[in-house]
């Protein structure tokens, strides 16, 4: 190779390193009420809150990292799931996938309930990563699988950003079965939106010791605007829409008379799907009414009475920074927000090796280890 070519490669690499170290490897911005007991708990027991996040060196930007994290093939240790079907009062069904090291029920072992993203299942990559690391910490996990994902819809009800009835039934079922067991919850993306809403609606009666909310689109209005941009639509929106259409096709006969099947077949974005499907099934006049009703407002944030740690990236296409309620969170006694430089949506790959445990999983396990081991240091929880 000519010397000039070598010089160009070395110069380009050094320039990239300069760019990377200039923009990444920073501590997350943390929004919390400084005088609160929850703030002291995080400072004293959750060390990852103050550690720098080094976005994956080879693809630190949010768009690329979101895609890499989603398609990266991973090889897991076998996760044994004991799956059960929960029947709902309206005749529907959703799933609970249980996992633990011992494969037996331990009525005293802490349990983490995972509420995944919009069309994720118990075998989705990031879900298995979370379950595996939770088990490695000595806890058990249970994944709630929404209607229509692993179990076809039994009626016209499926999932919606304002519908927390199934989530409440799942938590009640778990607590009824294990009344003395410490239970916390983690919500990811759409699951985080639903969990945030549930926590606000239940207040002091959430039955959860703590919660972790990750990559949550706090404003479906802003999320939709962002995802309709051509680059976001091409890179991410199309894939999510495909997943939604798969759910629809498995149970399309259940929506006869409620939707126009011919129109739904032509949708090519999440917004179009919600306009022709979700909004109509759940009785909204338009998709804009639906999205506006799904916003986690200031009132919701201030109604949460369960210690809740939130994590987002500042380049998450699904969660525009301006939509994150940082100011409201900074005034509450129960909620804290971490915002990292880089990370994308449900990504947060880190370091040089893309197969390293993602940063969000490290934060999650660090947080829940503190929750279960230092529960006396938490503010009064909503687990009654």
Note the pTM of the prediction, 2 decimals: 0.93
Are both 160 and 63 inside the same structural domain?
yes
Are both 31 and 120 inside the same structural domain?
yes
* H or E, element range at 96: strand 93-99
**What tens digit of pLDDT does each residue of 300-354 get?**
999 999 999 999 999 998 999 999 999 999 999 999 999 999 999 999 999 899 8
Are both 273 and 322 inside the same structural domain?
no
Q: Is 1 domain-assigned?
A: no
Domain count, the chain: 2
pLDDT for the residue 234: 81
Q: Is the model's pLDDT at 213 over the cut of 60? A: yes
Between CA 172 and CA 106 the distance in angstroms is 18
Q: Is 71 domain-assigned?
A: yes
Are both 93 and 128 inside the same structural domain?
yes
Of 236, 262, 294, the last residue of a domain is: 294
Tell me which residue range forms the domain holding 207: 24-219+300-377
Q: Is 230 domain-assigned?
A: yes
pLDDT for the residue 334: 96
Are both 146 and 36 inside the same structural domain?
yes
Sign of CA dihedral 29, 34, 37, 41: positive
Residue matched to tokens 């939604």 = 244
Are both 235 and 214 inside the same structural domain?
no
Are both 312 and 353 inside the same structural domain?
yes
Are both 38 and 92 inside the same structural domain?
yes
**What tens digit of pLDDT does each residue of 20-71 get?**
888 888 999 999 999 899 999 999 999 999 999 999 888 778 788 888 888 8
Are both 93 and 235 inside the same structural domain?
no
Are both 257 and 205 inside the same structural domain?
no
Distance of CA 352 to CAs 313, 316, 349, 358, Å? 19, 20, 9, 12
Are both 196 and 260 inside the same structural domain?
no
DSSP class of residue 277 equals I
């Amino acid at each position: 190779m000519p010397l000039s070519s070598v010089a160009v490669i070395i110069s380009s690499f050094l320039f990239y390193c300069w760019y990377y170290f200039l923009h990444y490897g920073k501590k997350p911005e943390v929004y919390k009420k400084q005088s609160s007991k929850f703030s002291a708990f995080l400072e004293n027991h959750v060390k990852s809150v103050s550690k720098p996040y080094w976005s994956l060196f080879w693809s630190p930007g949010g768009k690329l990292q979101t895609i890499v994290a989603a398609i990266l093939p991973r090889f897991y240790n076998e996760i044994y799931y004991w799956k059960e079907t929960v029947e709902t009062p309206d005749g529907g069904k959703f799933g609970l996938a249980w996992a633990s090291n011992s494969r037996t029920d331990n009525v005293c072992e802490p349990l983490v309930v995972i509420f995944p993203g919009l069309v994720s299942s118990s075998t989705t990559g990031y879900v298995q990563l979370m379950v595996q690391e939770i088990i490695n910490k000595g806890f058990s996990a249970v994944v709630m699988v929404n209607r229509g994902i692993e179990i076809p819809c039994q009626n016209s009800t499926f999932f919606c950003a304002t519908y927390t009835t199934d989530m409440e039934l799942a938590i009640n079922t778990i607590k009824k079965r294990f009344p003395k067991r410490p239970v916390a919850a983690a919500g990811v993306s759409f699951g985080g939106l639903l969990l945030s809403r549930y926590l606000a609606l239940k207040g002091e009666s959430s039955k959860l010791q703590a919660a972790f909310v990750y990559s949550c689109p706090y404003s479906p209005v802003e999320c939709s605007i962002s995802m309709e941009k051509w680059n976001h639509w091409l890179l991410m929106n199309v894939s999510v829409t495909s997943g939604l259409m798969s759910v629809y096709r498995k149970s399309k006969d259940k929506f006869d008379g409620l939707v126009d099947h011919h129109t739904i077949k032509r949708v090519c974005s999440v917004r179009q799907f919600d306009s022709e499907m979700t909004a109509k099934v759940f009785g909204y006049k338009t998709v804009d009414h639906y999205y506006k009703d799904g916003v986690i407002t200031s009132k919701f944030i201030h109604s949460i009475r369960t210690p809740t740690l939130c994590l987002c990236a500042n380049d998450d296409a699904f969660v525009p920074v301006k939509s994150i309620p940082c100011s409201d969170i900074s005034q509450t006694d129960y909620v804290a927000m971490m915002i990292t430089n880089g990370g994308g949506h449900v990504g947060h790959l880190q370091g040089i090796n893309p197969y390293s445990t993602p940063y969000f999983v490290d934060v999650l396990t660090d947080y829940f280890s503190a929750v279960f081991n230092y529960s006396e240091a938490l503010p009064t929880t909503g687990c009654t």
